[in-house]
Amino acid sequence: MIPAAFEYHAPTTVQEAIGLLQQHGDDAKVLAGGHSLLPIMKFRLAQPKVVVDIGRIPGLDGIAAGKDGIVIGALVTHDAVEHSDLLKAKCPLLPEVAGVIGDMQVRNRGTIGGSLAHADPAADYPGAMLALDAQIVATGAKASRTIAARDFFVDILTTALQPAELITEVRVPALAKGVGAAYVKHPHPASGYAVVGVAAVLTLAGGKVQRAAIGVNGVGGKAYRATAVEQALQGQALNEQSVAAAAAHAADGVDAQADLYASGEFRAHLASVYVKRAVLLAASRAT
């Protein structure tokens, strides 16, 4: 399929891009890696009159150690996250997540900012962002603001971004020594998207759980923190039984989505299975 005709702009600064978004309002769409936007344009599910390609704006593609953690530019590709030595050393959860996104072509072009802004419920990053308590920096015409990941994902394909705001960076904490983290997913056999994906970040003390943060994507209309599991794990010594008992709450209070591949009931079951796997793997890494 060929997309409908559109006007193309390639701004070279964030402010120029925001100016174009303000000028064209609902007629405009931001283009980053294009791996979510272009397919929906080709299917004519989106027909923007104006495309604002931010891919040539310098300064948005770095990964650097910041004051309180690691700062990842919005244009950083999944491949760059997967292979970042800084992230592997300080926040290995994200390279693990990035490494299982789509295929090599998708990872080479797709960006972290584009994935978060698109807010596909089956995308891999959102659960990890929640488990890490990440912060998303949105820049508008007048100022930048920081949005906590827990406030960022609003609904299916809907975020807290305002019109004419761009994600410019994502901030994640450097994980303290001894904190274990893991991401496991059940990929859709055709698309590779997460039917269920679970990110677990665990702090153990004296062999018991001091803190558990568990983010789940793929199950509901948006990624969520499995708070019932986190509470059930609190203070527990971890073994197959205690983790299975806690993981049984993986989809508590969530309206598990159904599609041709998986019923809501199957998705909720998979959530328990994958929460258990993620927690046990994270625990094995918490040394």
Ligand X SMILES: Cc1cc2nc3c(=O)[nH]c(=O)nc-3n(C[C@H](O)[C@H](O)[C@H](O)COP(=O)(O)OP(=O)(O)OC[C@H]3O[C@@H](n4cnc5c(N)ncnc54)[C@H](O)[C@@H]3O)c2cc1C
The backbone torsions φ and ψ at residue 123, rounded to the nearest 5 degrees and listed phi first, read -70, 160
By the rule CB under 6 A, 74 interacts with ligand X: yes
- Give the DSSP H or E segment for 159: strand 158-159
- Of the candidates 157, 158, 107, 159, the one whose C-alpha atom is nearest the C-alpha of residue 136 is 159
The residues that bridge with 194 in the sheet, in sequence order, are: 187
- Do the beta carbons of residue 65 and residue 43 sit within 8 Å? no
By the rule CB under 6 A, 117 interacts with ligand X: yes
CB of 66 to ligand X, least distance (A): 18
By the rule CB under 6 A, 9 interacts with ligand X: no
CB of 11 to ligand X, least distance (A): 12
SS3 180: strand
Q: Which of 18, 36, 87, 223 binds ligand X (CB under 6 A)?
A: 36
CB of 204 to ligand X, least distance (A): 29
Q: Which of 24, 35, 222, 249 binds ligand X (CB under 6 A)?
A: 35
By the rule CB under 6 A, 123 interacts with ligand X: yes
CB of 117 to ligand X, least distance (A): 3
By the rule CB under 6 A, 102 interacts with ligand X: yes
**Cβ neighbour number for residue 136 with a 10 Å cutoff:** 26
The residues that bridge with 52 in the sheet, in sequence order, are: 9, 30
The backbone torsions φ and ψ at residue 146, rounded to the nearest 5 degrees and listed phi first, read -110, 130
Sheet holding 144-148: strands in order across?
63-65, 70-73, 166-172, 135-139, 144-148
CB of 156 to ligand X, least distance (A): 13
CB of 276 to ligand X, least distance (A): 22
Q: Which of 69, 73, 110, 180 binds ligand X (CB under 6 A)?
A: 110
By the rule CB under 6 A, 253 interacts with ligand X: no
Interaction pattern, residues 38-67, with ligand X; x per rule: CB under 6 A: -x--------------x-------------
**Cβ neighbour number for residue 266 with a 10 Å cutoff:** 15
Q: Which two tokens stand for residue 16?
A: 């120029």
Interface ranges with ligand X (CB under 6 A): 29-37, 39, 54, 74, 101-102, 106, 109-111, 113-115, 117-118, 120, 123-125, 161, 166-167, 191-193
